[in-house]
Amino acid sequence: MICHKIQEIEQKLARACERAGRKREEVLLLGASKYANAEKIREAYQCGVRVFGESRAQDFLKKFEQLKDLPIDWHFIGNLQTNKVKYIIDKVSLIHSLDRQSLAEEIQKRAERLGKVQDVLIEVNVGKEETKGGVYEEDLEKLFEYCLSLKNLRVLGLMAIPPYKENPEEARPYFAKLRKLKERLEDLYKVKLPHLSMGMSEDFEVAVEEGATIVRIGSAIFS
Ligand SMILES: *Cc1c(COP(=O)(O)O)cnc(C)c1O
């Protein structure tokens, strides 16, 4: 069942890449597994998904233990409380949700202790929704500049969760906006930011057309 769903997603991804003149390998399919138990994640792994993103530290730690026998590449994609950083930092390759200076500071401190450089994405609140995490567009440069000063933290790009809309086409301007913000940072600071984490079950094809390099797909795989 899960394999069938993943195959369908793969076909849609392939077609979206083709429409956009991009290669399928340019887009990483991340299984957003917050609603899946370890068993379901194992099944998705066996169907070819290698990267999973968890949203809550407590749930993640439990599943991490249960799936220790698999070489899963774990990302953290949810709002991250500063006091949870120490539990996850040795277990994740990429944190998608850096959105404030205090969190960057804590990641720096913990990464330094581990002798690790932690890869992160800065989450942008593109719809200025109070209920969501993410830095506002006008505060992005300041946070990015601060991150540049931290030796054990490396910003690889941007992430966003646009406001929910019935029609996935309505998410397109937000995806385009995130891409432009990334390009602006690249121009301003003369850096290369390889990643745009955007697109979920309902709108990942539009996100790929607008340049997503990581799509985070939950319900289309697991429900
Ligand atoms: C749950 C979640 C997703 C996946 O959402 P679906 O609509 O179920 O695909 C993607 N990104 C984040 C940050 C999430 O929390």
Express each pLDDT in 53-67 by its tens digit: 999 999 999 999 999
Which pLDDT does position 9 carry in this prediction? 98
Specify the pTM.
0.98
Q: What is the mean pLDDT of residues 198-209?
A: 98
Percent of the chain with pLDDT over 70: 100
Query: What tokens does 210 get?
Result: 């607008």
| pLDDT, averaged across the chain | 98
Question: Does the Cβ of 34 fall within 6 Å of ligand 1?
Answer: yes
Q: Which helix (H) or strand (E) holds 10?
A: helix 2-19
- Given the CA of residue 34, which atom of ligand 1 is nearest to it? 1
Indicate the burial class of 128 (C-beta count within 10 angstroms; 0-12, 13-18, 19 or more).
exposed
Is 162 within 8 Å of 126 (Cβ atoms)?
yes
Coil, helix or strand for 107? Answer: helix
CA of 3 to the centre of ligand 1 (A): 19
- Given the CA of residue 97, which atom of ligand 1 is nearest to it? 13
- What's the rounded Cα separation, in Å, for the pair 50 and 47? 9
CA of 202 to the centre of ligand 1 (A): 10
